[in-house]
Amino acid sequence: MPCLLVLASSLWGGNRKILRIACTSSIVKSAKRTRHHGHITAESVTAPLGCIHAAFIFVMTMYTQLYNRLSFGWNTVKIDMSAARRDPLPIIPFGLAAFAATLFALGLALGTTIAVGMLFFIQMKIILRNKTSIESWIEEKAKDRIQYYQLDDVFVFPYDMGSRWKNFKQVFTWSGVPEGDGLEWPVREGCHQYSLTIEQLKQKADKRVRSVRYKVVEDYSGACCPLNKGIKTFFTSPCTEEPRIRLQKGEFILATRGLRYWLYGDKILDDSIIEGVSRIRGWFPRNCVEKCPCDVETDQAPEGEKKNR
């Protein structure tokens, strides 16, 4: 971790905001390489198998009990839940309450099988690719950055060993402890421990460069679903936990991403803002702002990169 902070400080002039971004790669891999990853995956296999076994028992129980209570007529089917037709009577009584409880337990067993089974497939996908969902998103943005600036670089994910079997063996070992000590892990040839961190820093700089400056032309209260900003804005509010920011006419916003009727960005603060508030960012309606005619930041590329479009 100290080496990571020194690297980020040398690249970004000691900006503490960016240093938090630099630590993301290490945090993600630390969460991934826990000692319990293999155990959790094994439990996600045994739980559905146990529920399938229980569901089979429930189905066969209801079948045998209902079979002894069914009576067929020419045009009717009757079910007598009071007692079985056979003699002697069954050892375990099976009345209406037992039937309802068994049916409810069958539903729980099937639901658990589906839910935990999906979790197992997700875990196995992560293990075989050696790549979490966050890391997949970082890789996708890396390819988009290279394509946008038409660079000759090729991003290689450092923790994918190039073989699913090798990735599998890193998590499932004879000792039960995954490879790696929580700080360093085996990486692909040609990569190093900070390959992903450096790529994240480049993406952070590229995000600032490709952002667009907007001027607020209409006040916005910060409501999640504003009624006075249009029907489409009301019904297309982003379904996310990210906050909304209050806007006042005349302020400036640096938008980094957006939807059709909403934008996400950082409010450009001035010296009048109280100290300690380093950043105000969130979603706001698109119709509350207008694009500034001149934005010199969008015409520049990150240092060492040249846009050929």
- 3-class secondary structure, 8: helix
Residues 125 and 142 in one domain: no
Amino acid at 15: N
Question: Does the structure show a pLDDT above 50 at 123?
Answer: yes
Res 244: pLDDT: 93
- Give the tokens for residue 142: 């890396």
β-partners of residue 71 are 78
Provide, rounded to the nearest whole percent, the portion of the chain with pLDDT above 90.
23
Q: What is the 3-state secondary structure (H, E, C) of 177-244?
A: CCCCCCCCCCCCCCCCCCHHHHHHHHHHHHHHHCCEEEEECCCECCCCCCCCCCHHHHHCCCCCCCCE
Residues 38 and 121 in one domain: yes
On whether the pTM is more than 0.85, the answer is no
Residue 309 falls inside a structural domain: no
Residue 307 falls inside a structural domain: no
Residue 195 falls inside a structural domain: yes
Amino acid at 260: R
Q: Which domain holds residue 159?
A: 135-207
Among the ranges given (85-89, 119-123, 223-227), the one the predictor scored with the smallest mean pLDDT:
85-89
Amino acid at 204: K
Angle at 262 (CA atoms; ends 256, 266), nearest 5 degrees = 35
Residue 273 falls inside a structural domain: yes
Instruction: Count H helices and E strands in the chain, helices first.
Output: 9, 7
pLDDT tens digits for range 83-114: 555 555 556 667 778 888 989 999 999 999 99
pLDDT tens digits for range 11-51: 444 344 433 444 444 444 444 445 667 778 888 889 999 99
